[in-house]
Amino acid sequence: MSDSALQGQVHAAPKPASRLRESVANFWRDFMYWSVAHFPIFVRVTRPFFLWFALNFSKALRDGPGANARRLLGPDASEKQVEQLRRKIVQSAYMSIYELGRAVNATHEKLHAWIEQVDGLEHYLNARKSGQGAIVVTGHIGPFEVSLVALGEREKRIHVIYQRDARSGFDQLRSKLRKKLGVEEAAINDGWAIWGRLRDALVADELVVIQGDRVMPGQRGVPVPFLDGHVLLPTGPIKLAMATGSPIIPIFSVRTRVGHCRVIIHEPIHVPREPGPVNSDHPALLKIASAIAGVVKDYPDQWAMYEKVWLEDQDDNLISVKA
């Protein structure tokens, strides 16, 4: 996989039937977000109803998760197996929204009780002895926001990098929970200024959390080997580590049952403070990719990625790859 742009073609305008299907899907999505913010139990009870609309009316929840399920299961998987995993991915995403609504209205004691197990805590404690801050790299897997409760009790300040979307009911819920937990948001929409602020936070021995399995608008990424193909991963965590000497700690939260999770902490990744490009074969980036791939392989249905993730499946898109 070369570091060049993958060229695609321009699609025709969507047909009226497609627009109608998406409008219906958007209506029920927005109604679900409103419901989970006010009546979470209603969302759980009506789960079959919401899922029926999501699975049957949303093209995005058909094409993206379907292609990803095919990659996760391998070329020998049957269409039935692919469809079963696609449905599980959508169902898991639905439960994540429900759990987020519960968390927003829960006490700190209840949030602590939802964390059933923490694996690898010694890795985190050892990494934090350096006094150089830490960069937590995670993925769109399971109820990660709940795991911030466990980190928050050990940190004086946590900063989370995210992409602001004022129209998203999900983002509004998530921001409300972060505020409740005392977590500071750093919107990547604000441009390069946030990176200077995050660098200062790390120098002050604070914690920075960033999603490592998706390149958001405004970020740069490079393609790396990932399970059965290549994916585009952000270079931001590596460059922050280069600038500050902070260790990178891969941490993931996986659902054990509804409303409960297990936190998995990997060994810290140390990056030499040597400025330079972050290429596809950068050792730290490959370690991040390996950590994410391991969790995704073990919990494929909990990976909440709705677009086509593998570059090999994106021949109809224009993807800019920059070091």
pLDDT tens-digit readout, 117-161: 999 999 999 999 989 999 999 999 988 888 888 888 889 899 999
- Does 274 lie in the same domain as 177? yes
The pLDDT value given to residue 28: 62
Among 303, 125, 86, smallest CA distance to 212 is for 303
- Does 132 lie in the same domain as 90? no
Q: Is residue 1, in this structure, part of any structural domain at all?
A: no
Q: Is residue 323, in this structure, part of any structural domain at all?
A: no
Return the top range by mean pLDDT from 5-14, 33-42, 136-145, 313-322: 136-145
pLDDT tens-digit readout, 184-201: 999 888 888 889 999 999
- Does 37 lie in the same domain as 180? no
Taking the C-alpha atoms of residue 102 and residue 5, their distance in angstroms, rounded to an integer, is 42
Q: Is residue 251, in this structure, part of any structural domain at all?
A: yes
Mean pLDDT estimate for the chain: 83
Contact 263, 150 (CB under 8 A): yes
- pTM, full prediction: 0.83
pLDDT-based confidence at 305, cuts 50/70/90? confident
Domain end position, chosen among 75, 104, 133: 104
Strand partners, 253: 263
- Does 125 lie in the same domain as 228? yes
Domain end position, chosen among 56, 82, 104: 104
Q: Is residue 2, in this structure, part of any structural domain at all?
A: no
- Does 187 lie in the same domain as 233? yes
The pLDDT value given to residue 308: 92
- Does 134 lie in the same domain as 250? yes
Note the residue count of the chain: 323
pLDDT tens-digit readout, 227-277: 989 999 999 999 999 999 999 999 999 999 887 899 999 999 999 988 788
- Does 132 lie in the same domain as 100? no
**pLDDT at residue 6 greater than cutoff 50:** no
Contact 101, 173 (CB under 8 A): yes
Contacts of 166 (CB under 8 A, 6+ apart): 172
- Does 172 lie in the same domain as 73? no
Domain end position, chosen among 104, 134, 157: 104
Q: Is residue 118, in this structure, part of any structural domain at all?
A: yes
Q: Is residue 144, in this structure, part of any structural domain at all?
A: yes
Q: Is residue 158, in this structure, part of any structural domain at all?
A: yes
Q: State percent of the chain over pLDDT 90.
A: 47
- Does 84 lie in the same domain as 167? no
The pLDDT value given to residue 132: 94
pLDDT tens-digit readout, 79-97: 999 999 998 998 888 888 8
- Does 290 lie in the same domain as 158? yes
- Does 291 lie in the same domain as 155? yes
State how many domains the chain has. 2
Alpha-carbon torsion angle 244, 248, 160, 261, nearest 10: -160
Contact 210, 136 (CB under 8 A): yes
The pLDDT value given to residue 52: 72
**pLDDT at residue 30 greater than cutoff 90:** no
Q: Is residue 176, in this structure, part of any structural domain at all?
A: yes
- Does 307 lie in the same domain as 207? yes
The pLDDT value given to residue 264: 96
Q: Side-chain half-sphere of 84: how many Cα atoms within 13 Å?
A: 6
Q: The tokens of 140 are what?
A: 């769109």
Residue 25 lies in domain: 16-104
